[in-house]
Structure 1
């Protein structure tokens, strides 16, 4: 839901309520990632939080740029996927430590 709001759907004149609703859904998403820290680790939450910061800062400070919105949505999507597949992220982290 936050992806549609951040990519310009909230700019429609008859949907002024859409951006606050999308931000509420984004906050709920971050809350659920926070609750899954014990299962999935900090990485998914941190990546999604950075994505939310990208989206909010680009909406507030750089309203004409699309790349920061796309980057924020990509970070949120990546954090969500890492949260749903915690074994993949753990294997990637363990491989980095074994090589070093």
Structure 2
């Protein structure tokens, strides 16, 4: 697991999962049992706290990482790799996160 991975996250309900972007810095990942993620949704609102992800990013369809709903989750519930986002896309995610947190 590394920062920028888009992975499946298992929700509390059986057989329900959704993609998330791993945001936790790489140097800390091996020491943590929880990771910070941003959910990915097919609902696209085109707002500054969303980053559009496409097939060019390795996603099966166009969707958006939602930086308004960042959360820390158990690493044990983060599953299979979908894709790893490139540097440019992660810069967009960092910008959207700064906007969401007003920092």
Report the TM-score when normalising by structure 2: 0.31
Greater C-alpha Rg? 1
Give the alignment's TM-score, normalised by structure 1. 0.31
